[in-house]
């Protein structure tokens, strides 16, 4: 298994615990949740069932599937349940008669799909855990779902019988660059680290997308095969992704498409103006769900108050789709191969690299030697954008009275700081110091691929983070 060290450690602790354990595992679609559990336990479940996606017949179909799994795991003599209370009663009996030593592992996958409207799934789950499983010492109940917001709202933050009943939570994130490299090596996909970063700009560290790559193709051929061909494997993934995560995804999509137009992010008021949505609880819920699912990050512009927080789209797949696929009418077999040779590709990769860096902030901090220092990550702009004002996409505000202004540059070779570029970097730092009135020491940090070209001006910049540094395992 690639990576997932902390997650595997949690599952191991639960399996060895002397008490029953109730674990919630969540993360976006295709991130590898089911794979993690099945691989870790080798498929040795006392019971395993998964919900059925978009099943029109509702509770009846979900129950029918659950009943079939009861039979598969040795409960053929049990009466077929007609409601969820009966279904969990059958599960109770199935576990009681299990002969295996150690933990009885129950894995309920995609439970948001099981919990159809008015099905009383949650009260039945509540009764099963509180009145029976929790009083034993040998039950490991793992519930899982791609609809992260549903898991958090209905299970993690439950205010009813399941309140504070979870013993563990696992929020599964996409692979880091280090884990991607390990995956590519393990699957025989040959790429340089530079190419792996470009792949990350597109696939975003999602294991399923990476698994679709053909080891016999280069990166450009794989992108064409997966996105731009007439029958591309991921051609409909964007709509499928959001519609599988959110039961009414129309407004979620409206928000992310608005955010895609502003790289640095938008305020709540900006979003309302761009989408036409009303300012209320519904918008709050949408933004919270997008953040919980890993599509956006919420942060403050440096020096601003809480009410001025920004919402920024950071999901690589969404950004790539909205930039290249949305509204496309013609599909060709060599679009990305041709596009990669144009100046426009350099512009896109520069912006996309910034998002990769934001997702690898722990690695940047490690390189700077500040892993143990309390920090905040911000963005900053002078407020004069229309007249060419300064903008810095990553400001690391450190508790040791230092501020790093990170300039992120994606180049095929060494980054050349000539007289003009040196002046631009100095002007941005001066604008930041003047605009924020900070009393901290301000340093310009260059985050780039292969370091700085040796010039008279480059000697002024000693704080440099290289592409290789982003592949290091972070110290959390």
Residues 102 and 204 in one domain: no
On the question of pLDDT at 125 being above 90, the answer is yes
Could you tell me the pLDDT band of residue 327, with boundaries at 50, 70 and 90?
Answer: low
Q: Residue 169: which of 154, 156, 153, 150 has the closest Cα?
A: 156
CATH of the domain at 435: 3.40.1350.10
Residues 294 and 248 in one domain: yes
Residue 152: both structure tokens together: 């958090």
Task: Give me the pLDDT at residue 360, please.
Answer: 96
Could you give the count of Cα atoms lying within 13 Å of 404 in the half-sphere of its Cβ?
A: 27
52-68: per-residue pLDDT in tens? 876 556 899 999 999 99
Residues 296-325: what's their mean pLDDT? 88
Domain residue limits at 84: 5-171
Secondary structure E strands in 148-260: 168-171
Residues 305 and 230 in one domain: no
Residue 84 lies in a domain: yes
Residue 100 lies in a domain: yes
Residue 346 lies in a domain: no
What whole-number distance in Å separates Cα of residue 400 and Cα of residue 391? 24
Q: Identify any residues that bridge with 440 across adjacent strands, giving them in sequence order.
A: none
Stronger pLDDT, 475 or 187, i.e. the higher one: 187
Residue 463 lies in a domain: yes
What whole-number distance in Å separates Cα of residue 84 and Cα of residue 441? 61
168-178: per-residue pLDDT in tens? 999 999 999 99
- Tell me the average pLDDT of the chain: 92
On the question of pLDDT at 347 being above 60, the answer is yes
Stronger pLDDT, 152 or 40, i.e. the higher one: 40
Give the least confident one: 164-173, 382-391, 419-428, 453-462. 382-391
Residues 129-146: what's their mean pLDDT? 93
237-259: per-residue pLDDT in tens? 999 899 888 878 999 999 999 99
What whole-number distance in Å separates Cα of residue 198 and Cα of residue 117? 42
What whole-number distance in Å separates Cα of residue 410 and Cα of residue 450? 9
Per-position b or e across 185-198, b if 16+ CB within 10 A of its CB: eeeebebebeebbb
What whole-number distance in Å separates Cα of residue 471 and Cα of residue 195? 13
CB of 69 closer than 8 Å to CB of 47: yes
370-379: per-residue pLDDT in tens? 999 999 999 9
What whole-number distance in Å separates Cα of residue 207 and Cα of residue 184? 10
On the question of pLDDT at 362 being above 60, the answer is yes
Residues 225 and 337 in one domain: yes
Last residue of a domain, one of 171, 204, 225: 171
What is the domain count for the chain? 4
Task: Give me the pLDDT at residue 300, please.
Answer: 86
Task: Give me the pLDDT at residue 56, please.
Answer: 58
Last residue of a domain, one of 124, 143, 171: 171
Could you tell me the pLDDT band of residue 303, with boundaries at 50, 70 and 90?
Answer: confident
Last residue of a domain, one of 270, 292, 321: 321
386-404: per-residue pLDDT in tens? 445 788 999 999 999 999 9
Q: What percent of the chain has pLDDT over 70?
A: 96
Residue 55: both structure tokens together: 């099943």
Task: Give me the pLDDT at residue 387, please.
Answer: 45
**What is the four-CA torsion angle of 34, 169, 62, 79, rounded to 10 degrees?**
100
pTM of the shown model: 0.91
Residues 373 and 312 in one domain: no
Residue given tokens 């041709």 in the structure block: 338
Residues 181-195: what's their mean pLDDT? 96
Residue 21 lies in a domain: yes
Give the least confident one: 100-104, 244-248, 277-281, 320-324. 244-248
Q: Distances in Å between the alpha carbon of 168 and those of 55, 106, 209, 340, 363?
A: 30, 15, 28, 45, 26
On the question of pLDDT at 106 being above 70, the answer is yes
Stated length of the chain: 476
On the question of pLDDT at 306 being above 70, the answer is no
Residues 61 and 143 in one domain: yes
CATH of the domain at 253: 1.10.10.10
Task: Give me the pLDDT at residue 386, please.
Answer: 45
Q: What percent of the chain has pLDDT over 90?
A: 78
Residue 441: both structure tokens together: 């020491």
Residues 111-119: what's their mean pLDDT? 91
* DSSP code at position 74: T
Task: Give me the pLDDT at residue 156, please.
Answer: 87
Q: Any idea what the Cα angle at residue 446 is, between residues 294 and 298, rounded to 5°?
A: 25
Residues 164 and 22 in one domain: yes
Could you tell me the pLDDT band of residue 448, with boundaries at 50, 70 and 90?
Answer: very high
Residues 344-352: what's their mean pLDDT? 94
- HEC secondary structure over 379-404: EEECCCHHHCCCEEEEEEEECCCEEE
What whole-number distance in Å separates Cα of residue 157 and Cα of residue 150? 10
Residues 225 and 301 in one domain: no
Residues 123 and 157 in one domain: yes
Asked whether the CA dihedral 393, 396, 402, 407 is positive or negative, the reply is negative
Q: Distances in Å between the alpha carbon of 312 and those of 299, 361, 435?
A: 8, 15, 23
Residue 123 lies in a domain: yes
Residues 451-472: what's their mean pLDDT? 94
Residues 30-47: what's their mean pLDDT? 94
Asked whether the CA dihedral 457, 460, 463, 469 is positive or negative, the reply is positive
On the question of pLDDT at 40 being above 90, the answer is yes
Task: Give me the pLDDT at residue 476, please.
Answer: 45
């Amino acid at each position: 298994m690639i990576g997932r060290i902390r997650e595997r450690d949690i599952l191991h602790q639960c399996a060895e615990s002397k008490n029953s354990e109730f674990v919630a595992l969540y993360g976006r679609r295709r991130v590898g949740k089911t794979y993690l559990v099945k691989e870790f336990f080798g498929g040795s479940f006392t019971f395993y069932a998964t919900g059925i996606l978009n099943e029109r017949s509702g509770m009846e179909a979900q129950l029918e599937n659950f009943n079939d799994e009861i039979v598969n795991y040795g409960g053929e003599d049990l009466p077929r349940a007609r409601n969820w209370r009966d279904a969990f009663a059958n599960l109770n009996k199935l576990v009681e008669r299990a002969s295996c030593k150690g933990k009885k592992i129950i894995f309920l996958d995609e439970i948001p799909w099981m919990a159809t409207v008015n099905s009383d799934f949650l009260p039945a789950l509540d009764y099963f855990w509180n009145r029976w499983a929790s009083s034993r010492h040998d039950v490991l109940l793992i519930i899982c779902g791609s609809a992260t917001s549903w898991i958090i709202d209905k299970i993690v933050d439950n205010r009813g019988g399941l309140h504070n009943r979870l013993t563990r939570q696992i929020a599964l994130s996409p692979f880091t660059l280090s884990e991607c490299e390990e995956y590519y090596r393990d699957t025989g996909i040959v790429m340089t680290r530079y190419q792996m970063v470009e792949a990350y700009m597109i696939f975003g560290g999602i294991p399923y997308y990476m698994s679709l790559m053909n080891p016999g193709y280069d990166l450009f051929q794989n992108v064409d095969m997966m996105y731009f061909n007439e029958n591309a494997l991921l051609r409909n993934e964007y709509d499928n992704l959001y519609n599988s995560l959110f039961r009414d995804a129309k407004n979620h999509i409206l928000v992310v498409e608005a955010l895609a137009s502003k790289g640095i992010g938008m305020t709540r008021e900006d979003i309302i103006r761009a989408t036409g949505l009303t300012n209320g609880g519904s918008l709050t819920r949408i933004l919270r769900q997008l953040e919980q699912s890993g599509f956006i990050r919420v942060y403050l512009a440096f020096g601003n108050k809480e009410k001025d927080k920004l919402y920024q789209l950071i999901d690589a797949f969404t950004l790539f789709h909205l930039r290249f696929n949305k509204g496309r009418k013609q599909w060709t077999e060599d679009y990305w191969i041709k596009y990669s040779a144009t100046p426009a590709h350099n512009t896109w990769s520069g912006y996309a690299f910034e998002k990769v860096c934001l997702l690898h902030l722990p690695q940047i901090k490690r390189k700077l030697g500040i892993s143990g220092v309390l920090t905040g990550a911000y963005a900053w702009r002078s407020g004069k954008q229309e007249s060419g004002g300064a903008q810095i996409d990553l400001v690391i505000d450190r508790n040791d009275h230092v501020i790093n202004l990170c300039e992120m540059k994606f180049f095929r070779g060494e980054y050349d700081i000539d007289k003009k570029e040196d002046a631009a970097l100095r002007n941005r730092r001066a604008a930041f110091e003047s605009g924020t009135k900070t009393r901290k020491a301000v340093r310009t940090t260059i985050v780039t691929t292969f370091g700085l070209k040796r010039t008279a001006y480059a000697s002024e910049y000693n704080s440099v983070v290289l592409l290789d540094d982003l592949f290091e395992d972070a110290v959390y």
